Structure 1
């Protein structure tokens, strides 16, 4: 498959009063044309910082210390702000988590959806509003023509998120970054938005990077999954490989912590401890203090990636040839089985 985006050895730090926080530490991944890549991990793992760097939307105290972000062969890191303004919205667009902070309360929805098209493609007001209407119909806004002159507060939360998606898609971007787009929505609307993104991707053949802390959300959306922890990618594989053959203990914990709703007394599994302080990144494996299967080497050396297939690799010493095979706890495996059964029923 043709790669549209390559991130190589990305290192990002933030200057703070307490010192330099090394938020992203040697991240590598790529995105193929027409593919959906999900980046998952706990809050603070570096998901949003990584994708905001692709858009070059970092705060003033952020530093790109090292690395490349190649978009169609060109390094975004070297682009000026003026050059990035031509890329944002037109070639790479982003859907943010909270639609109310993304929408201007003083502008009508029609103008907001059409604005990016007028700016980037120099079309007339009439043409841009027609395109906005077509897109609002595509994303499922009822009576879209009548509602072009409505304001954000006149829409429900789910409808506002659909409008934000329309704004991101108006220029037919080649890459769409969705940063936790369903977190603030109830489960029914969440499912509708996820289905909508799948349908739109098939129609306009855009590539999607989907950011979430919930592996369950991406089970039926992602082609590939990258798991992030403490500013690093620790496991990457196809969605099937991550859900049916996870290899990193952190991925085990994320899968095990998903609610199954099997019974009223079903207790969530919780990964013990908390992520490390990236003011002083750990010497060895960052997950070492929280890993019940940790080895002595974990405290001393950072694990390399061990390849399980052409598409699946994980950075854990548990995969070293000289280490005896380790299996996840029975309780976690039980939860996986329930989840997988529900996913197969949903996909049927």
Structure 2
């Protein structure tokens, strides 16, 4: 599949009273047409900063893209002026934010807010835009669109407000939709409905999605590929099955081990020890080394490159170096890897039968 977005060697800093915070340090990834890429990691890992830089929504007062490219259809967004970016933002690339109540204007009716991008980017008349709004409200599952069109955000439930935000984001049929933890503020039932809605809508309008979350359980249901971020870098990237069933980075092991399940008791729930690195003074070697029980001596001295696990799977850990000692991951991860090996074997045997 063709790449619609390519992020190359992205470095972003914030200038604060305490000094320069090196928030993003050499991030590389691509997004293919029609796929969903999930970016996961703890708070402060750099997920939202990375995606807001794609939209050019970082504060101008203290943020700086030090180097790198963000190529959208071959055009470098980093070099675009604000005026040119305004033509792309909302039309070709849209964003769904975490809290729908802060994303919506409480003084404007919902209908007018959905109409705004249509009037600005699609050059529709007011009557045409209103007709399109009715279609969008139905598309995102809001009943009685004629009544809802005239209502204000406070007259909607949390789940319905998020549907309105999705309708605004989808108004111009964007090529890329960035969803920044869009279900965090919702209860689990509404969360499941919103995720199912996004999957359905993606198929209908054939858009590419970047889905930001700290919840790996959500990722399993929506993503085609997963990028794991830590300390401003991508430490592992691969297909969703590779990340879930054959993770290679100790940080990914920790994230997966800390996921609760129906069989997990309160005493058994794992937590990654320590705290994320101080990016005012990034560590010399692997940023995860102080929290990594499997850390090698080289982890404290040199940052690991991304080692190839498969054609689609890469991980930045010295444990994948040919000369590294053999380290057994936690039992829960070993079970996942054994399950992945069985899945691959079944897939290969089916392929053999077909041939």
Determine if contact 2:35/2:208 at 8 Å carries over to the other structure.
yes
Whole-angstrom distance in 2 between the partners of 1:264 and 1:322: 38
Determine if contact 1:269/1:332 at 8 Å carries over to the other structure.
no
Q: 1:1-348 residue pairs with structure 2 within 5 A?
A: 1-59=1-59, 60-262=61-263, 264-265=265-266, 267-330=268-331
Whole-angstrom distance in 2 between the partners of 1:227 and 1:143: 41
Whole-angstrom distance in 2 between the partners of 1:61 and 1:40: 25
- CA shift, 1:264, in A, is 4.9
Tell me whether 38-47 or 262-271 shows the greater mean CA deviation.
Answer: 262-271
Whole-angstrom distance in 2 between the partners of 1:199 and 1:254: 28
- CA shift, 1:324, in A, is 2.5
Whole-angstrom distance in 2 between the partners of 1:247 and 1:327: 11
Determine if contact 1:256/1:332 at 8 Å carries over to the other structure.
yes
Whole-angstrom distance in 2 between the partners of 1:261 and 1:163: 33
Residues 44 and 265 (structure 1 numbering): CA distance in 2 closer, same or farther, change over 3 Å?
A: closer
- CA shift, 1:328, in A, is 1.7
Whole-angstrom distance in 1 between the partners of 2:3 and 2:252: 26
Determine if contact 1:14/1:63 at 8 Å carries over to the other structure.
yes
Determine if contact 1:40/1:211 at 8 Å carries over to the other structure.
yes
Give 4+ residue runs of structure 1 displaced > 6 Å after superposition: none
What do residues 218-264 of structure 1 show as CA deviations (whole Å, max 9, x unaligned)? 10210000000000000000001000100000000111111113255
Normalised TM-score (structure 2)? 0.93
Whole-angstrom distance in 2 between the partners of 1:126 and 1:171: 16
Determine if contact 1:179/1:211 at 8 Å carries over to the other structure.
yes
Whole-angstrom distance in 2 between the partners of 1:76 and 1:265: 46
Determine if contact 2:253/2:330 at 8 Å carries over to the other structure.
no
Give the paired residue count.
338
Residues 313 and 332 (structure 1 numbering): CA distance in 2 closer, same or farther, change over 3 Å?
A: closer
What do residues 98-148 of structure 1 show as CA deviations (whole Å, max 9, x unaligned)? 000000001111110111110111111111111111011010112122211
Determine if contact 1:260/1:266 at 8 Å carries over to the other structure.
no
Whole-angstrom distance in 2 between the partners of 1:166 and 1:278: 37
Normalised TM-score (structure 1)? 0.95
Residues 266 and 201 (structure 1 numbering): CA distance in 2 closer, same or farther, change over 3 Å?
A: farther
State the match for 2:353 in structure 1. none
How much is the aligned-residue C-alpha RMSD, in angstroms? Answer: 1.4
Gaps of 5+ in 2: 341-355
